[in-house]
Structure 1
Amino acid sequence: MSIRDERKQQSRQALLDAALYLSTSGRSFSSISLREVAREVGLVPTAFYRHFADMDTLGQELVDQVSVHLKGLISQIGHNYLQHQLLPTEDQSLTIVELFFLAVDHSPNQWIFMISERWGGSAVLRQTIHHEIEDLVEQLSNDLKRMPSLKHIQETQNLSVISNILINLSFTWAMTWLGLKNEYEGASLKQQQQALIQQANTQIRLLFRGAANWKNPTNA
């Protein structure tokens, strides 16, 4: 890559980063103007068009970037469970959940963006996020097929239901976790965080324990 191409890529990424920052600072993506994004990175508005056709195009690429990160994280929950021939013990499951929340703390803006824009004001972003979640459901369902404790579940629809529940739980966990910092501090924050970790651990263990004992009504 030439120096010119590298600088162009840096400017493009800077615009994406600026849009992510602005849309997670108490505002929705649809309320942010092209001029604001360009100004945030020190570019004139006309320079924006060297990288994106409009804000919708930028938003779609931003969803793509954020989705890659979140897909890897959510899928890792499934992969961690796949490492065990049987269901993980309570301690092993707790470790998986704790790692999830550490990852949320590491990239809070990605979660805030996806959670707010999933039902936000931009129809283009809502549709793009919907398709990304559909892809994630399919990816996670394929992972679950390899889990020894779920081999008895052959119906793709049932695996998709499990995947949907896990994905929606992940969004709820992340949203609640990030919200705790706005309501509590110090020892109270730690206490609330531990309570959420325990709750999430119970939920995921109930989900997989129920799936491991699932019987299709037609075969019951």
Structure 2
Amino acid sequence: MSIRDERKQQSRQALLDAALRLSTSGRSFSSISLREVAREVGLVPTAFYRHFQDMDELGQELVDQVALYLKTVLHQLGQGLAHPDAKAETSMELFFEAIDLNTQPWIFMIAERWGGSEVVRRAIAREIEFLNSDLANDLQKFEIVQNFHQADDLKMLSNILINLCFTWAMSWISLGRQYSGMELELQKLVLKKQSITQIRLIFKGILNWNTTEA
């Protein structure tokens, strides 16, 4: 890659980062203008068009990047949850640590999933479907789901887990906004315990799942 191409890629990524930052600071993506995003990274508005046709195109690529990050986190979580008795607690610790390290992707996906931009909503719906399929593929490799004989059953399970992940992430982030100090740590412990209990309940049900009866 030439220096010119590298700089162009850096500017493009800077615009994506700026849009993510603005849309997770109490604003919705649909309320952010092209001019604001360009100004955030020190570019004139006309320079924006060297990278994206419009905000819709930027939004679609932003969803792609965020979903790729979430896919990595969900893959790691799925690896641990396949052994719920032994690894559920460790898996959830790592999951919440990942949220603390990078909250913006979660805030963006949760808020914009039902947000004002139709283009972004459709892109998120598409990516969540991909996340469902990827997680189902991960889970089918483990012995714990060997009594799942229908692909739709695995997709249903992965959908439940992904929606739970969004709920856990939203609750975890909200705790940091509501509490501080020792009270925050106490509330975090409560949420961790609840999440582990939910996982164990789900996987106890999996062991007794019967597609025919369902």
Bucket of the pairwise TM-score, normalised by the shorter protein: over 0.9
> How many Å apart are 1:142 and its aligned residue?
1.3
Q: Deviations over 1:19-75 (max 9, x none)?
A: 000000100000000000000000000000000000000000000000000011012
What is the CA deviation profile of residues 73-125 of structure 1, one whole-angstrom value per residue up to 9, with x for unaligned ones?
A: 0121111234x4xx433xx2111101100000011011100100000000000
1:60 matched to which residue of 2? 60
Find the counterpart in structure 2 of residue 117 from structure 1.
112
Give 5+ residue unaligned stretches, structure 2.
none
State the shift of 1:152 in Å: 1.1
- Pick aligned residue for 1:170 from 162, 165, 169: 165
Deviating 4+ runs (over 3 angstroms): none
Equivalent residue in structure 2 for 1:88, among 85, 89, 92 = 85
Q: Which residue of 2 aligns with 1:182?
A: 177
| Local SS of the residue matching 1:88 | helix
Q: CA offset at residue 154 of structure 1?
A: 1.2
TM-score scaled by length of structure 1: 0.95
RMSD over aligned Cα atoms: 1.1
Residue 145 of structure 2 is aligned to residue 139 of structure 1: no
Maintained 8 Å contact 1:81/1:147: no
Please give the alpha-carbon distance, in whole angstroms, between the structure 1 residues aligned to 2:40 and 2:205. Answer: 49
| In 2, Cα distance between equivalents of 1:211 and 1:172 | 21
Q: Which runs of 5+ in 1 are unaligned?
A: none
C-alpha contact (below 8 Å) 2:149/2:211 kept by paired residues = no
Matched, 1:194 2:189: yes
Does residue 34 (structure 1) correspond to residue 34 (structure 2)? The answer is: yes
TM-score scaled by length of structure 2: 0.97
Question: In the alignment, is the contact (CA less than 8 A) between 2:34 and 2:48 conserved in 1?
Answer: yes
